[in-house]
Structure 1
């Protein structure tokens, strides 16, 4: 089995390597290729990756290359983990929206649109090259904004599934609170990427006993603290929202907070510098503890499980980003939603979802409409399309904000926008 990771020079990659090494019985990788044009980073990450494999006795071969076609040729699956423009572009995404009194965040609001505009054309180019070099390969997209990028891939006819670590993070957290194995916890997880709610926490399977009321009663304070939301709000909802919902439920409060501290991008850039120095130490043969602060917790477990289901035809139930196909009847079939699905060699089949309350369905429909317009702007370009997408976003929604944000988005991303 051959896997390729495009963006293999990312500081995230040792988390992925550790998972491949630990879970080799689940996913027996014989060759793993790390593809990245940044030769200096790739060499550091590749060296650590080989040492991790060696320490854990993994027999697989790790190859590093800047040549995409050579790296993915004959691959069974290709993982995409890209950040176009690096942390510098992320820092802009997190700062210039604040000038207009709007959320500055790399996947949500105006910053999320900027990232989509930079990313979608590059990902589609990579996917076409993968299709030529490895026509049977599955593309697993971990590149944000995952919902929009996955929809672009699917609409272009690629064998693609989107992946996010929010659901597996909740699964692991709830399993620890319930003192059970993670595999026993099944989530009633529903929504769009970075816009989801846990409406049930079931033991033993999708039809198992719902432990969510018990979790909220016994651990509500800890759950609310992790979400940075008041306990009474979580109790009133009776569900566990993704922490990204705080940008919607406490927009003005978050804007005030973001204006008083360094951007997350600045923090991550400093962390990455330290991580890369660590990766260069020939004595280091495991992922450092600092990597846990970088983000992407349990990414490796989610990626291994998804790749195994696709390549070994296991039919497991996993939370993925996939076509709606009637699952949420108020959305188009080609909307990309994030829900539990049966995953096998043929792809993904979302499980049925009980009717959604208007509080959730309304926001999902609104953000789906924005994502439609965002993808149109990413594919076709043009100031008017950018403005329309921003106007449609529920975190913006006023023409004065949309005009000002459009000007700033284009000014800060001109080098990445072929039409600008």
Structure 2
């Protein structure tokens, strides 16, 4: 790979960008970046300029001479890039508000990557990522795509399955948080423990051993019922039933609460919907505060308030992955990548989230082996739902979308679920060109979004 690394970040106007810059600055000696290109769309231009100036100040305050370029021209940014990172949100946060509030109106969970909202985020995001891959094939055919755009696992699956692009790794900060926060519960450091993760993005389990090979998973589980469990900021803390964890002898992902504690999580989500607003509405307020901070011409470091955004340790996932590929470090990282036998309960060609050694050739997965009966069942249902969701996003087939909706464990199937799906199609019409014919049929039937949801949008604009 040539000297002087070019990074292109799609969705560069994100509030997460300072986290990314911090990670690159910290790793400059092993990842000698020469230029960074932050890309966004016209609707995100103002935020791009604010966060871009902040990013440049961060580099100027460092010992390194790195130029941050801002552009609305994706092709200009991609040309000859060595690494492309993706952190974009199709439809911006307003789309997430609809993803959350429309299902909630009907008493269902609305969430960024789970349930109906997560599926519609995939419907909007998959066609865009595939367009990006086509541009990469022409403009930077040797580049690695490091995806952080949610739903990360489904987006990565789409890149591999439909984009036919194998130089891709999907990432999430949740496993990083586990490996950084859990060891302290038993008086250890991260390097004192051996972690093995297996599952799907936002739907994985892990086991832990000490450096002598002794399993300490149950010791950690015992401590989790006594200490702070280190949940991400965006997940309500309702404890797992202890007997469940004792039976599986694994630690579930924090997002498993939506499945193992569905009643409690739904109750909490609906209470927020009726009072302080859904998570997206809360994030809009946080983002407004962050961008006001970013405007400060004297601010040249990541502010502490960014931790409240829910993306803690983002840079430790994204930047370490890029540095590991560039320098062939063979670092152990939890990634979304092609299964290749690591999880025998799923086909070898589908994307899973597992522990892997990351180097110049990408991810070399650590074999996990077969999962217990219950977890295997969950995993296979969720992967089938993901594959149907991605297929629907690519083909625009309404029946395939409905099949995926029916299969999703967080959606109660029937006429109400169909109504929720139809309203989400209408609400996101501008960002779902592949579903144009299906949406036109819904409009002819007179399907409209509930007035309450539309009014709620006015309440959150800041």
Partners in 2 of 1:325 and 1:238 — Cα distance?
25
Report the CA distance between 1:177 and its aligned residue. 3.0
Asked if 1:59 corresponds to 2:88, the answer is: no
Q: Is the 8 A contact 2:240 2:257 kept in 1?
A: no
Q: In the alignment, which of 175, 198, 201 is matched to residue 167 of structure 1?
A: 175
Report the CA distance between 1:317 and its aligned residue. 2.1
1:97 is matched with which residue? 103
Q: In the alignment, which of 229, 246, 253 is matched to residue 239 of structure 2?
A: 229
1:202 is matched with which residue? 209
Partners in 2 of 1:280 and 1:297 — Cα distance?
21
User: After alignment, is 350-359 or 216-225 more displaced?
Assistant: 216-225
Partner SS for 2:226: helix
Report the TM-score, using the length of structure 2 for normalisation. Answer: 0.86
Q: Is the 8 A contact 2:201 2:353 kept in 1?
A: yes
Partners in 1 of 2:214 and 2:51 — Cα distance?
43
Q: In the alignment, which of 62, 80, 85 is matched to residue 79 of structure 1?
A: 85
Unpaired runs of 5+ residues, structure 2, are: 232-236, 440-462
Partner SS for 1:128: helix
Report the CA distance between 1:398 and its aligned residue. 2.1
2:460 is matched with which residue? none
Q: Is the 8 A contact 1:27 1:304 kept in 2?
A: no
Report the TM-score, using the length of structure 1 for normalisation. Answer: 0.94
* 1:185-264 aligned within 5 A: 185-198=193-206, 200-204=207-211, 208-222=213-227, 226=231, 227-230=237-240, 232-233=242-243, 234-261=245-272, 262-264=277-279
**Per the alignment, do residues 54 and 398 of structure 1 end up closer, same or farther by CA in structure 2, a change over 3 Å counting?**
same
Partner SS for 2:23: helix
Q: In the alignment, which of 119, 124, 127 is matched to residue 130 of structure 2?
A: 124
Report the CA distance between 1:223 and its aligned residue. 5.2
Q: CA RMSD in A?
A: 1.8
1:367 is matched with which residue? 382
**Per the alignment, do residues 181 and 51 of structure 1 end up closer, same or farther by CA in structure 2, a change over 3 Å counting?**
farther
**Per the alignment, do residues 184 and 128 of structure 1 end up closer, same or farther by CA in structure 2, a change over 3 Å counting?**
farther
User: After alignment, is 355-364 or 326-335 more displaced?
Assistant: 326-335
Asked if 1:409 corresponds to 2:424, the answer is: yes
Partners in 1 of 2:418 and 2:319 — Cα distance?
43
Partner SS for 1:95: helix
Q: Is the 8 A contact 2:107 2:270 kept in 1?
A: no
Report the CA distance between 1:12 and its aligned residue. 0.6
Partner SS for 2:52: helix
**Per the alignment, do residues 237 and 330 of structure 1 end up closer, same or farther by CA in structure 2, a change over 3 Å counting?**
closer
Partners in 2 of 1:415 and 1:36 — Cα distance?
18
Asked if 1:3 corresponds to 2:7, the answer is: yes
Partners in 2 of 1:382 and 1:230 — Cα distance?
37
Partner SS for 1:259: helix
Write out per-residue CA displacement over residues 96-151 of structure 1, whole angstroms, 9 at most, x where no aligned residue.
11233321101111111110001100111112112211110000010111111101
Partner SS for 2:182: helix
Unpaired runs of 5+ residues, structure 1, are: none
Report the CA distance between 1:64 and its aligned residue. 1.5
Q: Is the 8 A contact 1:367 1:393 kept in 2?
A: yes
Q: Is the 8 A contact 2:196 2:366 kept in 1?
A: no
